[in-house]
Amino acid sequence: MFEPKITETVQNIVKEYIKDGDSVIDATVGNGFDTVFLAESVGENGTVYGFDIQSIAINLTKEKLNENKLNERVVLIEDSHEYVNKYVNDNIKVAMFNLGYLPKGDKNVITKPDSTIKAIEKILDLLESGGLISIIAYYGHKGGMEEKDSVSKFLRELDSNKYDIISIKYENRVKNAPIIYLVRKK
Ligand SMILES: C[S@@+](CC[C@H](N)C(=O)[O-])C[C@H]1O[C@@H](n2cnc3c(N)ncnc32)[C@H](O)[C@@H]1O
């Protein structure tokens, strides 16, 4: 469950919420590791909607999915996740956000507080009862702390009658170690 890599820890948690045939969202496709994981988890009858604003991320992930013969269950969308309603009408079981910049990519292209919060808000409406949103906030980069603080404030103000929200953080790591937020719809 608790792995050396934070992304694997989150995948282990998320996996428990997904069953065959579910519709899920990868809100920040990046190098496609979570997209492939989600595609494997939903099975051949499920659907993954993957968003990224960078064509390099979309193309890289397309290749990964083709190599793994998972492309038919994934809809890749080169657009900002804040426009999720333009592309997704299904009830969503899980959505994953991995904030920050594309590893090994352009460090100036980062997720931003406004669009991240709009996307979370819209996905909360699409989320099934019992569904989960995971968010990993990296905030060592310029603009990261501001985004983490905005996301944290937004989540703290959500109605506790509708959502259970927890965070997981490292207690013994250097400052700016990533933090995990988990939002479960009641
Ligand atoms: C930390 S990376 C994601 C890593 C990814 N989960 C993986 O497994 O490799 C963050 C990604 O979010 C993307 N991004 C930034 N702003 C975005 C937005 N408004 N909508 C969708 N994706 C965005 C970036 O282009 C970048 O690829």
In a mutational test of the pocket of ligand 1, which residue from 51, 53, 55, 75 has the highest number of ligand atoms less than 8 Å from its CB?
53
- pLDDT of 46 reads 98
Per-residue HEC secondary structure of 160-185 comes to CCCEEEEEEECCCCCCCCCEEEEEEE
- pLDDT of 113 reads 98
Contact at 8 Å (CB) between 20 and 38? no
Task: Tell how many helices (H) and how many strands (E) occur in the chain.
Answer: 6, 7
Distance of CA 120 to CAs 43, 94, 126, 127, Å? 25, 12, 10, 10
Q: Where are the alpha helices (DSSP H) in the chain?
A: 6-15, 33-42, 55-67, 84-87, 113-126, 144-156
- pLDDT of 175 reads 84
CA distance 150 to 173: 22
Dihedral sign for Cα 159, 160, 162, 163, please: positive
Tokens of 49: 């909607």
Regarding the beta carbon of 144 and ligand 1, being less than 6 Å apart is answered no
- pLDDT of 13 reads 98
Q: Tens-of-pLDDT digits for all 186 residues of the chain?
A: 888 899 999 999 999 999 999 999 999 999 999 999 999 999 999 999 999 999 999 999 999 999 999 999 999 999 999 999 999 999 999 999 999 999 989 999 999 999 999 999 999 999 999 999 999 999 999 999 999 999 999 999 999 999 999 999 999 987 889 999 999 999
Closest CA to 185 of 139, 113, 126: 126
- pLDDT of 163 reads 98
Distance of CA 30 to CAs 9, 39, 116, Å? 18, 15, 15
Regarding the beta carbon of 115 and ligand 1, being less than 6 Å apart is answered yes
Regarding the beta carbon of 57 and ligand 1, being less than 6 Å apart is answered yes
Regarding the beta carbon of 59 and ligand 1, being less than 6 Å apart is answered no
Distance 125 CA to ligand 1 centre (A): 21
DSSP state of 141: S
**In CATH, 6-185 is 3.40.630.30:** no
- pLDDT of 1 reads 83
- pLDDT of 174 reads 78
Contact at 8 Å (CB) between 40 and 66? no
Regarding the beta carbon of 116 and ligand 1, being less than 6 Å apart is answered no
